[in-house]
Structure 1
Amino acid sequence: MDDQGTFAAQALRLVTARFPHALGAVLGGSVAQGRATSSSDLDVAVLLPDSDTSRREVIRHEGRLAELFLTTLADVPEFFEWDRARRRGTVLFIYDQGLPLLDPHGHLSQTCEQARAVLAGGPPPLTPAERERSRYGLTCYMDDLVDTPPANRYEQLSLADFTLREAAHLLTAHHGAWTGIGKWLPRRLLSADPVRGKALLDGHQAVADRADPAPLAAAAEQVLDLLGGPLREGYALPWRT
C-alpha cells in the first residue's frame, strides 16, 4: 500500500472507531495532495446526523495527530458560508479535493458537490473600506520595511512577514481567488498569480537570506499598483461605521 493509502486506511479506522454513526467522511490536506510527510497530521471532515453536534476536535489516533471537522447535515450550508466568508475555504477544499473514506448513503457525494459549487463562486470580494484599509496597511509595512536598518533583524523579519501576508491578501482578493495561511499561503498565492506571487515569495526569501528588503518592497508595490498605488496621505477611517 502506498503512503496515501496508508494514511487513508488509518483515517478510516479513526472514523469507524470514534464515529460509528458517521454519514460520511473525507480525508483532506497535504495527504490528499500527495504532499504528506511521515509526521503529517490527518485532516478529516466527518458528516454527522442532526442528533449530534457540529464542532472541531484535535485528537491523537494510533500515535498520529488528527484534526477533525465534524458537521451535522443540517449545519453544512451555514458552515460552508462561514468558511467562504473567511476567504480561505479550508473545509470547502477538504470536501472538494479530499479522499472519500466513507459514504454509506450518498450524503458525502452530495456535500462534495455543494462544496464545489461554493468554491466555483469564489470568495466574497473585499468591500471598498476593507480594500483601502488593507492598501494603507501594506503601504505602511512596505515603507517601514525599507526604512528599517538590516542590523535590526527582528524588526526587519517581522515587517517582511506582515508585508507578505498583506500583499497576499490583496493580490488574491484582486483575482477573486482563495487565500490561505501557513503553508497554504504560498500555495494559494502562486495559484492566484504565478508571476506576482513568486515575486513576493522570492522577495520575502531575500529578506530572510540576505537582509535585502528591496525585492519584497518592489513586489509589494506591484501589487499596490493594481489597486491605485500606495496609499498614504488622504487615507481616512471612520471610528464608527
Structure 2
Amino acid sequence: MQPLEAAKRFIADKFPNCQAAVMAGSVVRGEHTATSDLDIVVFDDKVESAYRESFIEYGWPIEVFVHNFTSYKDFFKADCERARPSLPRMVSEGIIIIDSGVVCAIKDEANDLLKTGPVMWDKDTLATRRYMLTDVLDDLIGSTNRAEELFIANTLAVKIHEFVLRTNGKWVGDSKWVVRALNQFDEDFARRFVQAFDVFYKTGAKDEVIELADEVLKLYGGRLFEGYSMGKGDRI
C-alpha cells in the first residue's frame, strides 16, 4: 500500500474521532529507505496527555505521536529549548491526512518557530561550550588507545556540529540529522566535517579532525582551558 493510503487507513481505523493528523518523516521528504517507517502526528482533544506508540499495519511500521491541544505546545517549547525541533519540523513538513480546521494554525506556529531559530548562547554558555569542546579535543589528541579514540571522536563530532550550529543561530540534529542539519547550514563545511571523521575512522589519522575543531574554535577565541571557571561566584 502506498504511504499516504496506508496513513489514511490507519487514522480511520485507530483514531476515527481525532481532530487532525499529519504524516511526516522521510517518506514525505522523499528520503525513505527500506527500513523507514511512517511518522504520524495526531491531534485529539480527548487524550489526557501526549504519548507515542508503534504499530505495524498495512505493510508499514508506523510511529504515531498523539497530542491534545495543550501537550503539543509543551513539546514545541521543550524541543526549541534543546534546539532540536523534532515535533515542529514534523508538523511543518507534514502532509495533512485529516483536518477539522485546526492544522493550518498549528502549522503556522511550527513554521514561525523554525524560522526564528533557537535562542543564542549567552557569554557564559559560550565559554562553557568552548571549554567542553576543548576538553574532548584534548582527549582525542592525547589518546593512544584506539578503542577509546573511536568513542571520543564520536563525542567530538557531536560537539563540533552543535558548536557550529548554535553559534550561528541554527537548529542542531541527532543521529542522521547531525549531517542533515550541517548541510542545511553550510554544505561545504558539512562535506569537510564528514571527510575529516571518515578519514579518522578509516585510517586513525587525527589531523583533519583537529584542524576542523580548531577552525571552529578560532572564531570565538580558540581552545579554552586556563582561566575558565564555573560556579565560583564571589567566594572569599
Q: Is the pair's TM-score, using the shorter chain for normalization, greater than 0.5?
A: yes
Q: Which runs of 5+ in 1 are unaligned?
A: none
- Tell me the residue number matched to 2:48: 53
Contact 1:146 1:214 in 2 (8 A): no
Pairing 1:94–2:53 present:
no
CA distance in 1, matches of 2:51, 2:199: 37
Contact 1:89 1:178 in 2 (8 A): yes
**Residue pairs, 1:1-241, within 5 angstroms:** 6-49=2-45, 51-62=46-57, 64-103=60-99, 105-149=100-144, 152-238=145-231
Secondary structure at 1:131 match in 2: helix
Contact 2:40 2:63 in 1 (8 A): yes
Large movers: runs of 4+ above 3 Å: none
- Aligned residue pairs total 232
**Superposed displacement of residue 197, structure 1:** 2.9
**Superposed displacement of residue 194, structure 1:** 2.3
Contact 1:48 1:72 in 2 (8 A): yes
The percent of aligned pairs where both chains have the same amino acid is 28
Contact 2:43 2:68 in 1 (8 A): yes
- Report the TM-score, using the length of structure 2 for normalisation: 0.91
**Superposed displacement of residue 52, structure 1:** 1.5
Secondary structure at 1:16 match in 2: helix
- Report the TM-score, using the length of structure 1 for normalisation: 0.90
Contact 1:196 1:219 in 2 (8 A): no
Contact 1:164 1:201 in 2 (8 A): no
Q: Which runs of 5+ in 2 are unaligned?
A: none
- CA RMSD in angstroms comes to 1.7
Q: Which segment drifts farther, 182-191 or 74-83?
A: 74-83
**Superposed displacement of residue 239, structure 1:** 6.6
Secondary structure at 1:231 match in 2: coil
Contact 1:136 1:235 in 2 (8 A): yes
